[in-house]
Amino acid sequence: MVDAVRYDLKLDSAADVRAVTLGTVVELLRQSKGWSQSELAERAGTTQATISRIEKGTNEPSPQVGRRIAEALDLRPSKLERIVENAEALARERAGAAPNGKNGAWWHGVLKGLAVAGLIGLIVWAVASVLTDEGELEPGEE
């Protein structure tokens, strides 16, 4: 399942939240295929360290690497982007936050009430829900 190292992240911007959401999508899809990070890296023409950083949410891939990762996971890049956007929207909705909460950031209220661990858990749940709805994961596979 999702790496607990993410709970040490500092989530200060929309880009940070997006990176964690994308990383969660990549990790769950990779795991559903039974692949190691090294296997995904080889299929995507990148390094295991790059996949690790993406999955942890510590950096977002370049457009070229993102495209290759999506294709390695049997997704069109546009579908990967849609999954990330839908998961963020579902997490925001579940949190009961407005699309542009305090200071334009819906996750501020979540962080205040649940801390980083709660926000990460919410994102993991939302990603798994969207991937299941999209037919990319079997129910209970997350």
- The CATH number of whichever domain residue 42 belongs to comes to 1.10.260.40
- Tell me if 2 is assigned to some domain: no
Q: Which domain holds residue 84?
A: 14-133
Residue 9, pLDDT above cutoff 90: no
* Domain annotation covers residue 35: yes
pLDDT one-digit tens code per residue, 40-53: 999 999 999 999 99
> Taking residues 93-122, what's their average pLDDT?
58
Examine residue 1 and state whether it is found in any structural domain, yes or no: no
Confidence of residue 97 (pLDDT cuts 50, 70, 90): low
Q: Is residue 139 part of a domain?
A: no
CA dihedral 3, 113, 130, 9 (to 10 degrees): -30
Mean pLDDT of the chain: 78
**Domain membership flag for residue 6:** no
pLDDT for the residue 57: 87
Count of structural domains within the chain: 1
pTM: 0.75
pLDDT at res. 10 = 62
Can you give the pLDDT at residue 110? Answer: 56
50-88 pLDDT per residue, tens: 999 999 888 889 999 999 999 999 999 999 999 988 888
Above 60 in pLDDT, residue 4? Answer: no
The answer to whether position 142 is within a domain reads: no
Asked whether residue 116 is assigned to any structural domain, the reply reads yes
Residue 136: burial class (beta carbons within 10 Å; 0-12, 13-18, 19+): buried
In a domain, 73, yes or no: yes
